Amino acid sequence: MKVKTILITGGAGFIGSHVVRHFVNSYKQYHIVNLDVLTYAGNLENLKDIEDAKNYTFVHGDISDDSFINALFQEFQFEAVIHLAAESHVDRSISEPLLFAKTNIMGTLNLLNAFKELWVDDWTGKRFYHISTDEVYGTLGETGLFTESTAYDPNSPYSASKASSDHFVRAYGETYGLPYVISNCSNNYGGFQFPEKLIPLCINNIVHHKPLPIYGDGKYTRDWLYVIDHALAIDKIFHDGKNNATYNVGGNNEWTNIDLVKLLCEIMDVKLNRAKGESQKLIQFVKDRPGHDLRYAIDASKIMSELKWQPSVTFKEGLMKTVEWYLSNAEWLESVTSGNYQNYYKTQYQE
Ligand code: NAD
Ligand code: TYD
């Protein structure tokens, strides 16, 4: 049987590393090529356990370099792409919007174009899977849910760049017949997440008795999904999703930031043998994020009914596993928070 060669982009990042590990371990019949430029968010340590697997190859390179991307597609003849590489942090998109356009829009376009050049004469058995976010839909008020037909209404440079890339994927489907699938997922949490995002940032700060910065009044609401459940959803969508369809993925698990951080503090007090309520004293309300979206919440009924996917862990179980992961990977946390992270933190939180 011919081995299917699949390109996974951004596989050294948070979600990408879970997806690469899952595909390398579960599908020996695939050759998984992980393309990553290794920005501050990409780390090959995330994939130490599978780096010598026979069905795995790492390629260091930039999706925004079109001639490199074209040559890579010619060399490997990828039959499928699972595209996760992106600049992914809203706060950084506010200070560096052009980088977000370059990576998220032009990078996606380069991949689409190289895929089209390779297969436009015969799309049989090919698939381009684009991983996106619920943030493209903008913000919800106090009620309602994002469905697959909610109009795009992005508010941050990050979400605008992701929305634009989603549109290009769809346009390649309509114009060139490129078989694609897109999923828009809610906020992920779990091991290997870079500690610029709320949950790992707070875990790291609690460990070090540092303030927990809560933007605005802390009433902003997110729908949290354990990263392994996202990786399993990606597997289902990649294999069984309909061509040219979109799937929303979410945990049906809404939390205000303040309630979430309080829960995290309770878990950490127990894990660190601290007195009840000690970590909560670190909470500090700080200046709000500009253009801060009030609420995200996903209606995941399509993927649940069509592809029989559902989250496998409750939020408390997932959060507990996440805290345990960070506490037993103190070296990883230490290495990613030294160097440039310190400068980022000082600028972002005006220490
Ligand atoms: P991440 O920032 O942890 O990882 C991104 C990875 O992409 C890193 O390994 C980085 O080195 C790589 N990368 C960045 N620019 C690149 C370039 N020019 N060329 C090659 N590689 C490059 O991000 P994440 O949280 O794992 O998110 C992965 C994807 O999932 C993104 O597309 C993001 O928009 C989407 N998503 C994330 C979430 C979330 O909660 N984290 C939710 C929904 C969707
Ligand atoms: P984040 O993890 O950056 O994800 P996103 O912006 O993609 O939803 O932020 C999650 C929520 O937490 C969001 O409402 C912003 C808020 N937040 C804080 O209150 N303080 C922080 O230091 C960070 C990083 C985020």
- Residue 213 beta carbon below 6 angstroms from any ligand 2 atom: yes
Judge if the beta carbon of residue 214 lies within 6 A of ligand 2: yes
Digit-coded pLDDT (tens) for 104-137 = 999 999 999 999 999 999 999 999 999 999 999 9
User: Distance (Å, rounded) from C-alpha 313 to C-alpha 67?
Assistant: 43
Contact 321, 166 (CB under 8 A): no
Say how many Å lie between the CA of residue 302 and the centre of ligand 2.
Answer: 27
Question: Which mutation among 186, 222, 261 tests ligand 2's pocket best, with the greatest number of atoms within 8 A of CB?
Answer: 222
Q: Which residue has 């303040």 as its token pair?
A: 258
- Over residues 2-47, the pLDDT tens digits come to 669 999 999 999 999 999 999 999 999 999 999 999 999 999 999 9
What is the DSSP code (8-state) at residue 184? E
**247, two tokens:** 């799937």
For the cut 80, the answer to whether the pLDDT of residue 347 exceeds it is yes
Which protein residue's CA is at the shortest distance from atom 23 of ligand 2? 198
pLDDT at 88: 98
- Quote the pLDDT of residue 44: 96
pLDDT in tens, 201-255: 999 999 999 999 999 999 999 999 999 999 999 999 999 999 999 999 999 999 9
- Concerning whether 148 is annotated as a catalytic residue, the answer is no
Please work out, in degrees rounded to the nearest 5, the angle formed at the alpha carbon of residue 302 by the alpha carbons of 137 and 34. 70
Ligand 1: residues with CB < 6 A are 9-10, 12-16, 36-39, 41-42, 62-64, 84-88, 103, 107, 131, 133, 162, 185, 187-188, 194
Dihedral through CA 296, CA 140, CA 217, CA 135, nearest 10? 40
Report the CATH architecture of 5-191+224-252+296-313. Answer: 3-Layer(aba) Sandwich (3.40)
Res 2: pLDDT? 64
| Residue of 36, 134, 229, 254 marked active site | 134
What pLDDT was estimated at residue 330?
96
Judge whether 45 counts as a catalytic residue.
no
Asked whether residue 1 carries a pLDDT value surpassing 90, the answer given is: no
Residue 138: HSE in the Cβ half-sphere, 13 Å Cα cutoff: 9
| Mean pLDDT on 158-162 | 98
pLDDT digits (tens, 9 = 90+) for 267-321: 999 999 999 999 999 999 999 999 999 999 999 999 999 999 999 999 999 999 9
Around Cβ 281, how many Cβ atoms within 10 Å? 12
- The sign of the torsion formed by the CA atoms of 287, 291, 295, 300 equals negative
CA of 22 to the centre of ligand 1 (A): 17
CA distances from 208 to 106, 205, 211, 243, 348 (A): 39, 5, 9, 48, 18
pLDDT in the model for residue 350: 84
The closest ligand to the CA of 218 turns out to be: 2
Cβ(318)–Cβ(61) under 8 Å?
A: no
Q: Is the CB of 195 under 6 A from ligand 2?
A: no
- Positive or negative, the CA dihedral 128, 52, 14, 60 is negative
Is there an atom of ligand 2 within 6 Å of 222 CB?
yes
Atom of ligand 2 nearest to the CA of 91: 3
Q: Is 189 a catalytic residue?
A: no
What would the mean pLDDT of 163-170 be, rounded to a whole number?
98
Answer whether 188 contacts ligand 2 (Cβ < 6 A).
no
Q: Which ligand is nearest to the CA of 9?
A: 1
CB 64 within 8 A of CB 87: no
Helix intervals (H) in the chain:
14-26, 66-76, 90-95, 97-100, 107-119, 157-176, 198-207, 227-240, 257-271, 301-307, 315-328, 330-336, 340-349
Q: Which of 62, 79, 135, 196 is catalytic?
A: 135
Mean pLDDT of the chain, nearest integer: 97
CA separation for the pair 241, 55 (Å, rounded): 24
The 10s digit of each residue's pLDDT in 314-323 is 999 999 999 9
Query: In the prediction, which pLDDT does 154 show?
Result: 98
Residue 257 near residue 184 (C-beta atoms within 8 A): no
pTM of the model: 0.98
Q: Which residue is it, tokens 């930031």? A: 257
Residue whose entry in the numeric block shows the structure tokens 């995200």: 296
